[in-house]
């Protein structure tokens, strides 16, 4: 019998709905037919640093259950730790106390993810500080992630590290370098951003999906052009999506595939409305012709 591709489940990132209250954003996505949400912990959406986090998380979990939405926890809020430095401090910061603040945020995110029943916790490395060399930066990254991975293993929630253009960990090859540095811990997984594959990976995005499959724990998706790190609405970049989605379905990936349009929050509801039909059409186009079930002659 020939296996059939897994049905993909689509979500939308709350970092692209930053002008909406969290409850309004979740209701919108459920009404539009999304399967889930990429929930970025930020001051406007389940603030990870405000009081009563556990109680607020329980309320959010109940709301997700009422709406039938799955969730992945994302940690890419721009100014949640430092109002003056985008994504600061990072796991690579020269100051150990500053690095510890980022580690604490990620451990909090793991606890939130466990309480929400999330598929994974997403994170990224950060950029190399001007005063640091790459070798030192890799050492800091590995050391900083160790307690987060311990927390993730205890919670049973994978930590899905995202290769990010311009960061220390920018490519799939960099992810495997980190994996080897850490001794290939079971809790370490991969966030694959399809646009980033188009932007800077040497292989086409569909090939990246196939190569990433064993470690794939979270997927982000948007359009993009080669060599330009600009998250674009579908149809405004260069990606041929049916082969990408067919490759993703064929891997058996069971998490969410989350639309990532953080610079389009000013029109977030409109982009959420048009993105899901686009993805469903592209997924249907990429499905191969049905193979008859094996039968007895």
d(CA 65, CA 154): 24
Q: Concatenate the DSSP letters of all residues of 236-294 into one string.
A: SSS--HHHHHHHHHHTT--SEEEE--GGGGGGHHHHHHHHHHHHHHHHHHHSPPPPPPP
293 found inside a domain: no
The per-residue pLDDT for range 14-32, each reduced to its tens digit, is 999 999 999 999 999 999 9
Domain that holds residue 273: 9-286
Structurally, how many domains does the chain consist of? 1
DSSP state of 78: S
pLDDT of 286 reads 74
Q: What average pLDDT does the segment 93-121 reach? A: 98
295 found inside a domain: no
**Cα 214–chain centre separation:** 16
Nearest-CA neighbor of 2 among 296, 291, 297? Answer: 291
Residue 297 pLDDT greater than 50, yes or no:
no
pLDDT of 6 reads 54
114 found inside a domain: yes
pLDDT of 193 reads 98
227 found inside a domain: yes
pLDDT of 77 reads 96
294 found inside a domain: no
Chain-wide mean pLDDT for the chain?
A: 94
Beta strands at 228-232 and 223-225: parallel, antiparallel or unpaired: antiparallel
Q: What average pLDDT does the segment 138-158 reach? A: 98
Q: What average pLDDT does the segment 152-168 reach? A: 98
Three-class SS state of 171: coil
Q: What is the pTM of this model?
A: 0.94
Scored b (16 or more CB within 10 A) or e, 95-124 reads eeebbebbbebbbbbbbbbbbbebbbbbbb
165 found inside a domain: yes
Residue with token string 């260069």:
238
pLDDT of 287 reads 65
The per-residue pLDDT for range 245-284, each reduced to its tens digit, is 999 999 999 999 999 999 999 999 999 999 999 999 999 9
The per-residue pLDDT for range 28-79, each reduced to its tens digit, is 999 999 999 999 999 999 999 999 999 999 999 999 999 999 999 999 999 9
Residue 154 pLDDT greater than 50, yes or no:
yes
225 found inside a domain: yes
Nearest-CA neighbor of 120 among 130, 109, 136? Answer: 109
152 found inside a domain: yes
pLDDT of 61 reads 98
- Cis bond before residue 89 (omega within 30° of 0): yes
**What CATH number is given to the structural domain containing 68?**
3.20.20.150
Residue with token string 């019998």:
1
């Amino acid at each position: 019998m020939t296996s059939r591709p897994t049905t993909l489940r689509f979500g939308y990132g709350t970092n692209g709905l930053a002008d909406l209250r969290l409850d309004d954003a979740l209701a919108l996505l459920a009404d539009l037919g999304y399967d889930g949400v990429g929930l970025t912990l930020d001051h406007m959406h389940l603030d990870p640093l405000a009081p009563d986090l556990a109680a607020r998380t329980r309320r959010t979990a109940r709301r997700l259950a009422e709406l039938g939405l799955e969730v992945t926890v994302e940690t890419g809020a721009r100014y949640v730790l430092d109002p003056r430095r985008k994504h600061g401090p990072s796991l690579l910061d020269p100051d150990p106390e500053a690095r510890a603040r980022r580690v604490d945020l990620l451990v909090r995110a793991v606890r939130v993810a466990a309480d929400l029943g999330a598929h994974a916790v997403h994170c990224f490395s950060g950029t190399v500080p001007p005063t640091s060399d790459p070798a030192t930066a890799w050492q800091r990254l590995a050391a900083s992630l160790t307690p987060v991975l311990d927390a993730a293993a205890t919670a049973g929630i994978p930590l899905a590290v995202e290769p990010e253009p311009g960061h220390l960990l920018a490519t799939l090859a960099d992810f495997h370098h980190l994996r080897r540095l850490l001794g290939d811990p079971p809790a370490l997984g991969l966030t694959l951003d399809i646009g980033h594959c188009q932007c800077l990976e040497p292989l086409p995005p569909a090939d990246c999906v196939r190569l990433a499959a064993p470690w794939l724990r979270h997927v982000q998706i948007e359009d993009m052009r080669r060599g330009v790190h600009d998250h674009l609405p579908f149809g405004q970049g260069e990606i041929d999506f049916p082969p990408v989605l067919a490759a993703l379905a064929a891997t058996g990936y069971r998490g969410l595939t989350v639309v990532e349009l953080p610079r389009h929050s000013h029109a977030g509801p409109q982009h959420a409305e048009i993105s899901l039909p686009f993805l469903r059409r592209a997924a249907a186009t990429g499905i191969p012709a049905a193979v008859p079930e094996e039968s007895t002659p």
